[in-house]
Structure 1
Amino acid sequence: MIPNTMFPQLPRMDSVGQTSATRRRRMHIPSIRCPGRPLAALTLLAALVMAAAAPALASRVLLKVNDVPVTNFDITQQLKINGLLGGPRTRQAALRQLVDNVVLEREAKRQGITIRDIHVDRTIDGMAKSFGGLPRLKQLLRKRGVRYDAFRRHVRGLILFRAVTARLGTRIKVAPSKEEIERRYRKILTDPRLKPVTAWRLRQVTLAVRKKGKPGTVRTPRKIVVWNLRNIDLPVENVAPVMREQLFQARAIESQQIKSRYRGCASIKQATAGLFNVRVSGIIQADPRLIPGPVKQAMREAGTTKLLGPVKTRKGIRLIAFCGAAKTRPSVKVPDVAVFRRIQDAQIIMRRFRGCATLPKAAHGVRGARVSDYIDADPRKLPRQLRVALAKSGGRKLIGPVRTPRGIQLFAFCGKRKIVPPKPDRKIVARMVQAEAFQKVREKVMRKLRQKAYIEIRDKSVRLN
């Protein structure tokens, strides 16, 4: 038996007898310089280091078994294979499987056992039947990121194990008793995940949004009633303090002249003709809900044929003309125009919604709207605010719009459903118990074979046992 060990790494010598480290110290290594932008330089350097480190980590040799390297990438592939075939899910177990495959190769060679490619192909064909055929199996392997050559090595290891144990005279015959299978079956039935649960049936609408939009000004979708107003100002400016009050009185008299001539907004130009320094504003759209009550009442009494005022301000005398009401879509400033547009689309869907069955129809015609199928959700795992809102909606209206990493989402409550998980099949439980017993026997056999192998550990974090 050769004990596990790791030889010290000797420095590599170049042609003139100097180590590479010595030569590097004598070399001038230029640094990245970005005047005025040290953060940009650090970001660039970090990106280069990460890009170079990714393949290095994957191909890092963790250990060698009989001079055959085992890398991080090999462990990742083995874990994916185990996830597909139902093997162990820990890195330590996957590493042990890879070590065992190398050990079995050497033991088979010592015993004169030859496994041809045709044997591996036949075994894979037999396994592929449970996946719907070989093309379907290869498709699943590609989808899970498993290389086909790694899968072939795994299958070859299974064949080698049976061949080696048969040559050694070890009988791998595992037949668990009916009592043991029944005991495991009863234990599985006590799993809380197999108890009936009441699920909420939900549907959601997703409106994709770009990660970062731009601020801007947009018009609201709904029209509101506004009052069209115009200000008539008679300013008092550039006057000595002693004359200021007299000028205010003079401007107030002029405002009375304007009021006497006024016959409506169209007559403002004629009403102010001949008066010095009169300023008339353009149309001002005011929300009547924001106008103080007394002012609103005075405007209603004045109507469109009389002016409101005069009102003394800091800069002079002001008259207010009410030019009637109108419906318009006001403009608002928003921090993200794209998000605002998607919220408008969501509000269109909300107005059309008449129940979960009508959700696809409500979203029809809205650009990029994706409606999900019915989703069975555990209400205990939903966010509290969403759970309360869904319960109050009763399926009569959509909840939202909600900003999520996916975009703008709407949620519909479609009722409740009791889900009874299916009971496990006794045949599946029997195979599971048999597989566990087989794994124990396999580990017992492989532990003896591993003692004959030369294992050189390269990474201190590696643990085989």
Structure 2
Amino acid sequence: MGLMRYTTGVAMAALIAGSAVGQSAAQTTPAQPAQAPAAGTLNPAAEDAPQRATAAPQFRLADGIIATVNDRIITGYDLRQRMLVIMAMSQIQPTEENIAAIQQQALNDLIEKHLQDAEIAKFESLKISDQEIDQEIAGMAREAGTTPQNYMAFLEQGGIRPQPFREQLRTEIGWRDLVGGRFRDRARVSRTQVDQAMRQLTEAATKPQYLVGEIYLEASRVGGMQEAMNGARQLVQQMVQGAPFMAVARQFSAAPSAARGGDAGWVVQGTIQPALETAMESLAVGQLSNPIPVDGGVYILYMRDKRSGAATSLVQMKQVMIELPETATEAQVTAATQRLEALRGSLTCDNILERARAEQGMLGADLGESDVANLLPQFQQVARSAEIGSVSSAVRSPLGVHLLAVCGRRLGGPEAPSPQQVESRLQNQNYAMLGRRYLRDLRADALIEIKQ
């Protein structure tokens, strides 16, 4: 058998008796009949159910070397072990229809593992100890609600050997440390970025929002759009039949949210691709979508919750005012307005109270942080729409004429994220993006060959 340059989707030897599982990447997606947005309703209890220990599937593997990555080899044994891990972790049951997607995912994982190992080996400080691996396994066992010993016994019942599994974890830990160290400065989030994200969250507070789980299959990684659609259909079928969404997302999704079990958080209407927004609007809480093709790949969405967007919005304001009763004449109101407007251009959040005290007949007050809904109606429009740090034009109320300085705004309520949480999320997104780009560059420069 000869060697050829590897491209994603190249056919491999059958792994199950009588099953031809590889397909060419050169196919294009045929026209699909219209389908309902929802594929079915998931059982939330599946996420908390213990993993099912099943007998190891009987694969018939090609002997010897399956592929090479630079000077490193991938054997049939390696591929089989990785496939078993994917099935155990995702609770996907192998079938004639989905074995190709499992195989492709396993092969991609092994290729990336070899690339990561070679890069990690360049750094003497990146020596992952057995104790660190033990700690990683202990954390996985806690998530599964069992002990490390029982967790490893569960894996062995599925045919997974401890040593390859531990070496996979050694690579994952080392890669996290490498990416974290290499890109620490580039992943850092500025205060301006945090403030901008907080403002965007606040501005979106009144729009419909969706708490979404996502799985994204990248077409270039799985062999083309046809393979991505086929793989997505099989995953949807397995999840409707009981495979936990979060476990499947961790093993198959190419989105940054994969590490969080596909948790994309609250998504705001108008901030996502039209095809995804259309699906979100149609899905009921608890429903799983059918595959949604987009440029570059295929999404599967799980609607965990929805809300109308009537979130609490809190605003910090200060004011300077001239007291006038409701019975004041039009001339009095005009005079007060002109006096305040003449002062407005020199006012800021920092000096407004001091300036008010220096002006005869004016009152200054720090209004503190208030729920916008509890403010006077005349103040609410300023509180919702004015830029942070700006001072409004004159506003008439039953108490007088006011200039309002908007000094801060944030979401309120128990679900509102803190600036620290927003900063952490943005930083994790940066690390994920930089890590993917790093690995993509390594892959582009590597000689990856597969034996047919």
Q: Same fold (TM over 0.5)?
A: no
TM interval, short-chain normalised: 0.3 to 0.5
**Structure 1 length-normalised TM:** 0.32
**Structure 2 length-normalised TM:** 0.32
* Structure with more contact order per residue of length (Cα contacts < 8 Å, sep ≥ 6): 1
